């Protein structure tokens, strides 16, 4: 018999009382994701490499009644990630949600790009994602106290920001496209490792260009770059960081319990043109 639980429907988007760890929290998308978790009643651990900027965020969030703390860490260093997880668990007791929103790019033609620059992008956008995912997943599994084959989503929720550039190449983006494409495949594989056995959902969102300090120049309607984007943006505009909050909350809540290993299109229709 087909049935539908009313309480599930009424609470399926809730993250209240959950503990959310957000990397890249000082970036445009990381900040709005972290604040959204806090607005909805989650306890939030903010991380990035700049302790001063993180403290500013904590002050801002706490002024709005958000329960949060920060811990500075380099996501590409195992010892930093282990210390971050330890600090989060000591503060809040567990980790229920991981949102990975850090990243780096240095566009260069492959003929001019050094192997060292390419490797730095790969480490920042792919290796670091692997490290954070691996050690947070270990913590989530430890929280199950030996239980296996738990209901989907009950072991934890992991959301990784990759990019539309994981789907398409672009001049000057040999490092970035490779790293983001690798991250998408890594997430798909980790879902196969973690979801059925441990109830941990692992998904990616793949945005197109969104407003930040680094991309503000692209939002000039008179610029050739903006006009070229509009040829392939059915939605008729570029994105704001807040446009992705719905995706993040959906993939962090029980509403997405049957979704794992997905690379969700967040492009305003970019891929359909």
Q: What is the CATH number of the domain that holds 99?
A: 3.40.50.720
Question: Is residue 271 one of the residues assigned to a domain?
Answer: no
Phi-psi region of 71 (alpha: psi -120 to 50; beta: other; left: phi over 0): beta
Residue 270 counted as domain residue: no
Q: What is the CA radius of gyration of the chain?
A: 19
User: Which runs of consecutive H residues, i.e. helices, occur in 107-173?
Assistant: 115-122, 128-142
Residue 213 confidence (pLDDT): 85
Residue 255 lies in a domain: yes
Interacting residues of 82 by C-beta distance below 8 A, sequence separation 6+: 135
CA-CA-CA-CA torsion for 125, 198, 44, 49, nearest 10 degrees? -30
pLDDT of residue 218: 84
Counting the structural domains of the chain, the total is 1
Residue 272 domain flag:
no
Q: Quickly list DSSP for 27-49.
A: SHHHHHHHHHHHHTT-EEEEEES
Other CB atoms within 10 A of residue 138 CB: 12
Longest dimension (CA), the chain: 63
Task: Determine the Cα–Cα distance for residues 165 and 209; give it in Å rounded to an integer.
Answer: 10
Q: What is the pLDDT of residue 263?
A: 93
Digit-by-digit pLDDT tens for the chain (273 residues) are 778 999 999 999 999 999 999 999 999 999 999 999 999 999 999 999 999 999 999 999 999 999 999 999 999 999 999 999 999 999 999 999 999 999 888 888 989 999 999 999 899 999 999 999 999 999 999 999 988 788 888 899 999 999 887 777 788 788 788 888 889 999 999 999 999 999 999 999 999 888 988 888 889 998 888 898 888 889 999 899 999 999 999 999 999 999 999 999 998 888 887
How many Å apart are CA 253 and CA 201, to the nearest integer? 10
Task: Count CB-CB contacts under 10 A for residue 221.
Answer: 9
What does the pLDDT read at residue 52?
97
At residue 114, the pLDDT reads 94
Residue 212 included in any domain = yes
Residue 184: domain span:
6-265
Kindly give, in sequence order, each residue whose CB lies less than 8 Å from that of residue 149, ignoring residues fewer than 6 positions away.
196, 197, 199
What is the model's pLDDT at position 32?
97
pLDDT of residue 158: 98
CA 90/CA 88 separation, integer angstroms? 5
User: 208 in a domain, yes or no?
Assistant: yes
Find out whether 119 and 164 touch, Cβ atoms under 8 Å.
no
Determine the Cα–Cα distance for residues 249 and 55; give it in Å rounded to an integer.
Answer: 24
Q: What is the pLDDT of residue 232?
A: 85
Is residue 1 in a domain? no
Tell me, what's the pLDDT at 108? 87
Residue 251: its pLDDT value, please? Answer: 98
Which are the catalytic amino acids? Answer: 176
Task: Specify if 173 maps to a domain.
Answer: yes
According to DSSP, residue 203 is labeled: E
- Whether the CA torsion 105, 107, 111, 112 is positive or negative: it is negative
What contacts 205, CB < 8 A, 6 or more positions away?
A: 159, 160, 161, 162, 244, 247, 248, 251, 263, 264, 266
List the helix and strand counts (H, then E) for the chain: 9, 7
CA distances from 174 to 105, 115, 201, 214 (A): 10, 11, 29, 19
């Amino acid at each position: 018999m087909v049935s539908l639980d009313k309480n599930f429907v009424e609470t399926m988007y809730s993250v209240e009382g959950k503990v959310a760890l957000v990397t890249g929290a000082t970036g445009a998308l990381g900040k709005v994701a972290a604040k959204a978790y806090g607005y909805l009643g989650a306890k939030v651990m903010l991380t990035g490499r700049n302790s001063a900027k993180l403290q500013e965020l904590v002050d801002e969030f706490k002024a709005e009644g958000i329960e949060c703390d920060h811990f500075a860490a380099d996501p590409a260093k195992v010892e930093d990630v282990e210390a971050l997880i330890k600090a989060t668990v000591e503060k809040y007791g567990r980790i229920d949600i991981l949102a990975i929103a850090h990243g780096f790019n240095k566009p260069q033609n492959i003929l001019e790009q050094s192997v060292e620059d390419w490797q730095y992008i790969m480490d920042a956008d792919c290796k670091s994602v692997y490290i954070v995912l691996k050690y947070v997943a270990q913590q989530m599994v430890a929280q199950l106290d030996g239980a296996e084959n738990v209901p989907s989503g009950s072991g934890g929720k992991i959301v990784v920001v990759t990019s539309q550039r994981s789907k398409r190449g672009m001049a000057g983006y040999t490092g970035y496209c490779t790293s983001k494409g690798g991250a998408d495949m890594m997430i798909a594989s980790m879902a196969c490792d973690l979801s059925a056995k441990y109830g941990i959902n692992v998904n990616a969102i793949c945005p197109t260009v969104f407003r930040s300090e680094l991309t503000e120049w692209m939002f000039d309607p008179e610029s050739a770059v903006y006009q070229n984007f509009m040829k392939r943006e059915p939605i008729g505009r570029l994105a704001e960081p807040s446009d992705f909050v719905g995706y993040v909350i959906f993939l962090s809540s029980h509403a997405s319990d049957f979704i794992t290993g997905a690379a969700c299109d967040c492009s305003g229709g970019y891929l359909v043109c």
